[in-house]
A and B are shown apart, each in its own frame.
Chain A
Amino acid sequence: MNKRRKIVVQIALFVPILFFLLLLAQFFRLQVVEHKRWKQRAERQHYFVVKEAFRRGRLYAHSQLNGKRVAFAIDVPLYHLYADPKAIPDDLKSIVHENIVRLLSPLLKEAQKIGGELGRRSRSRRLVSWISEEQKQSFMTWWKPFSREHSLPSNAIFFVLDFRRFHPMGHVLGQVLHTIQERRDERTGRAFPTGGLELSLNEYLEGEAGYRRLMRSPHNSLETGEVLKSPINGSDVELTIDHNLQAIVEEELEKGVKQYRAKVGMAVLVEPKTGHILAMAQYPFFYPDKYQEYFNDPLLQERAKITTLTDAREPGSPTKALTVALALKANRLAPIFSVREKIATHSGSFPGRSKPLKDARVHRFLNFYMAVQKSSNIYMAILAQRMVRTLGDEWYVRQLRETFGLGRQTGVELVGESFGLLPHPKQPNTGWSKAAPYSLAIGYNFQATSLQMARAFCVLANGGKLPELTLIRKIFRENEGGCEETIIDNTLETRLERFPQVLDHQDVSEVNRALRFVTKKGGTGTRADVYGYTEAGKSGTSMKLVHGEYSSKSHFASFCGFAPATDPAFVLYVGFDQPKPEFVPGRGFNHKGGMCAAPVFRSIARRALQFLGVPEDDPYGFPDNDPRADPEKAVWNEEAEVLCQLYTQWNER
């Protein structure tokens, strides 16, 4: 009996001990073995992690206003309205719908979708985009009592903060800046740039989102949250663009395109010493804030493109300035001509050409200065012939590439830049033929972008140095200590030392001397004479290829030059695509570069020089009806008069 009792007692003791041991084992499993898993689950129940948005970097103009940087694009915090359709009973959805439309006045397209979105079996649907703080508050004053009255969860309708990129200057620098799409990547929160600098500098402008952990609580969490990771804002970019000059250029370009009824107008303003692009304009304009209108319409898509950079075309006569510069360079290796040499230019027959070259009017004899002033095709072809005969065609093409950067990208910080096309003697499929050098000399048989032509003229305005073009002065970001940390700096003197000396200073002076005659009496670009200032430049009108043939109705007119002539503040390239050919009595055809692009060059140059505060270096160089005019004292008038007399002497019949 005692033994049995002893066994019962032992069992009675063993069972609870076993039970206790099992409990202990379970405790060990939960607290030690699966500790991490259960901790994570508990944290998920008690806490939630919110993403902290970063600020996308800003694009600033180089110029300042009241000592402050001027931003081309500003991110403004706005809200999106979301709904949890499952949490709203069907009979209340129509009331919610009505009140959303009444209080938030969404766009018609969005308003039509709200009903459908509320009907979906989802926990999160975006109903209205880009709502202001005021609209949000007015909606909440209706929603809070409504949700209480109908016992709806207060977060059945909720707002999500987002940053919208606005361009306060509207169309100013539109094509170059571009923007970001309204919808971001849902997972990463990253933006989708639509093009321009927003796309090419995206890696700098993008920041990194931060994370903050908050406690769930029906009332107040009493926690501002533990910062798991601070958001890193994107880097800011200071552009080389002067927003005032950009506005001036755009305004004058718009006037020009409308007046000469061109399809597209473009202009580039470059500081030759530094290669900094001060303005880059195009008309018709592109408004980045309305980007959807442009991308949804095939006819408007072209306006979003930076034609200055993407479209290469035969530039025509401005190339003659480059031809004469190369001839002078060739002269240093083997004498081929003299600037005062009287060259016969009545015959335009050259080997390999099926048709003889012609000038706008027949010139019997020309010298270097007259040829540039009158834009003689035959004289340029003769120089090309002499260069090729003496130094070879490869030397000539190599010089166009290396001295002026033709056929090479400028390297400006934008995507989609064209290389242009420069034929090579050893590559016949590039368009090389026996007659190619004569065509190259007058700006045909090769293609260059407006930016490449502006860079080529920078060589002439920069004492023979080929600058690297850039749109960026600085890229900087604020570090954790609140100090500005520079990532890229294009303002350093060391950058300028890298520019290669591609032409002799003396040769450049000679070319510039010739280019100064272009805007004076007897020149093709008299309408580009900048009142009050000296200038040098070259007009051009090239026929466009239409269905493989040069069209006499479709042209590209341009004027490229710099001012002041002696110490240039900028190089300015103005181009008009397909100006309407109209005959103006006493002047000639309106579609010529000297007729349509030259006056726009004048307007832009004068206003830009005045804005920059450049003192007038030709204070008597005004039109005859202006009280400030004095032809005897005006700079370069005497030289132009002497050249005219010599021209008449050589060419009188």
Chain B
Amino acid sequence: MPVFSFVYCVFITVFFVALYIARHNQLTEKRIRVIALERELKIEEAKVRRLELQMASFLSPVRLEEVARRAQFSHLKQPSLNDVEKCP
């Protein structure tokens, strides 16, 4: 009977230790992932900044004025404030 109790205790202990180690491994895995994600995030942020710059250059008023002067847009005119109707 005492042998059974001892084995039972060892089994329970080993089970919880294994559970703890598995949990710890999961955590470690996630921490590694966080670092990788953080690196990726930085790269993406840098990309966003570069795209922002490209977009701002593309929408630069100097360029837009040039585009507005093209023949295909010559029929367009700047609306006056009287022509603009605001939705309530």
Residue A614 is within 8 A (CB to CB) of chain B in the complex: yes
Residues in A with CB closer than 8 Å to B32 are 220, 222
Given contacts A613-B79, A613-B84, contact A220 B35 (CB under 8 A): yes
Residues in B with CB closer than 8 Å to A132 are 50
Nearest residue in A to B58 (C-beta to C-beta)? Answer: A168
Q: What's the minimum C-beta distance from B4 to chain A, rounded to whole angstroms?
A: 41
When the two chains form their complex, are residues B61 and A246 in contact, meaning their CB atoms are under 8 A apart? Answer: yes
Residues in B with CB closer than 8 Å to A613 are 78-81, 83-84
When the two chains form their complex, are residues A243 and B61 in contact, meaning their CB atoms are under 8 A apart? Answer: yes
CA–CA, A248 and B43, complex, Å: 37
Q: What's the minimum C-beta distance from B57 to chain A, rounded to whole angstroms?
A: 4
Residue A618 is within 8 A (CB to CB) of chain B in the complex: no
CA–CA, A247 and B61, complex, Å: 6
Residues in B with CB closer than 8 Å to A247 are 60-62, 64-65
Q: CB-CB contacts of B54-88 with A at 8 A, as 1s and 0s?
A: 00110111101100000000000111111110000
Neighbour of B80 across the interface among A74, A168, A221, A616, CB < 8 A: A616
When the two chains form their complex, are residues A76 and B62 in contact, meaning their CB atoms are under 8 A apart? Answer: no
When the two chains form their complex, are residues A65 and B59 in contact, meaning their CB atoms are under 8 A apart? Answer: yes
Q: What's the minimum C-beta distance from B43 to chain A, rounded to whole angstroms?
A: 6
When the two chains form their complex, are residues B61 and A76 in contact, meaning their CB atoms are under 8 A apart? Answer: no
- Contact sample, A vs B, 13 pairs, CB 8 Å cutoff: A76-B46, A133-B47, A169-B61, A170-B60, A172-B62, A222-B28, A224-B31, A244-B64, A611-B78, A612-B81, A613-B80, A613-B81, A613-B84
Q: State how many residues of chain B have any CB contact under 8 Å with chain A.
A: 31
CA–CA, A611 and B81, complex, Å: 10
Q: CB-CB contacts of A208-246 with B at 8 A, as 1s and 0s?
A: 000000000000111110000000000000000001101
Q: What's the minimum C-beta distance from B69 to chain A, rounded to whole angstroms?
A: 10
* For the complex of A and B, 5 pairs with smallest distance between CB atoms: A168-B56, A247-B61, A613-B81, A168-B57, A610-B78
Residues in B with CB closer than 8 Å to A244 are 61, 64
CA–CA, A578 and B34, complex, Å: 64
Q: State how many residues of chain A have any CB contact under 8 Å with chain B.
A: 34
Nearest residue in A to B52 (C-beta to C-beta)? Answer: A74
Residues in B with CB closer than 8 Å to A74 are 49, 52-53, 56
Residue A166 is within 8 A (CB to CB) of chain B in the complex: yes
When the two chains form their complex, are residues A77 and B46 in contact, meaning their CB atoms are under 8 A apart? Answer: yes
When the two chains form their complex, are residues A222 and B53 in contact, meaning their CB atoms are under 8 A apart? Answer: no
**Segment 1-60 of B: residues with Cβ below 8 Å from A:** 28, 31-32, 34-35, 38, 42-43, 45-47, 49-50, 52-53, 56-57, 59-60
